């Protein structure tokens, strides 16, 4: 899983039926200091994350889709699965 910041969302009326009713969020991967790492991508929201939240994103199809939609095998390859409170660096 990776750390990412929620930066927006995507509106799509024409979509695969497994995605109907799901929120597609734009997320920007970030490092431990909040710095950007690589390109933004799209993730379904398994919680109720908002823009600006620091989140944990899982990037694996089967598990991500099950988590985000409660239905197996949906056409998803990334999902927001946690909102981060704090990072402990020992």
4 part of the interface to its own copies, by CB under 8 A: no
User: Other CB atoms closer than 10 Å to residue 18's CB: what's the count?
Assistant: 14
76 part of the interface to its own copies, by CB under 8 A: yes
23 part of the interface to its own copies, by CB under 8 A: no
Q: Is 38 left (phi over 0), alpha (psi -120 to 50) or beta?
A: left
84 part of the interface to its own copies, by CB under 8 A: yes
d(CA 66, CA 8): 22
36 part of the interface to its own copies, by CB under 8 A: no
Considering the complex, state which of residue 3 and residue 34 has its C-beta at the smaller distance from its own copies. Answer: 3
Residue 89 near residue 32 (C-beta atoms within 8 A): yes
Structure tokens at 73: 């095998």
21 part of the interface to its own copies, by CB under 8 A: no
Q: Which residues bind its own copies (CB under 8 A)?
A: 1-3, 7-16, 18-19, 24, 26, 31-32, 37, 39-43, 46-47, 51-52, 56, 58-68, 72-79, 81-90
């Amino acid at each position: 899983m990776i750390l990412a910041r929620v930066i927006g969302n995507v509106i799509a009326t024409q979509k695969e039926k497994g995605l109907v009713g799901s929120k597609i969020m734009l997320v920007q991967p970030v490092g431990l200091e909040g710095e950007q790492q690589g390109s933004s991508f799209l993730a379904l929201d398994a919680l109720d994350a908002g823009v600006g939240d620091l989140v944990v994103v899982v990037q694996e199809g089967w598990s991500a889709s099950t988590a985000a939609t409660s239905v197996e095998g949906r056409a998803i390859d990334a999902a927001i699965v946690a909102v981060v409170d704090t990072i402990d660096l020992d």
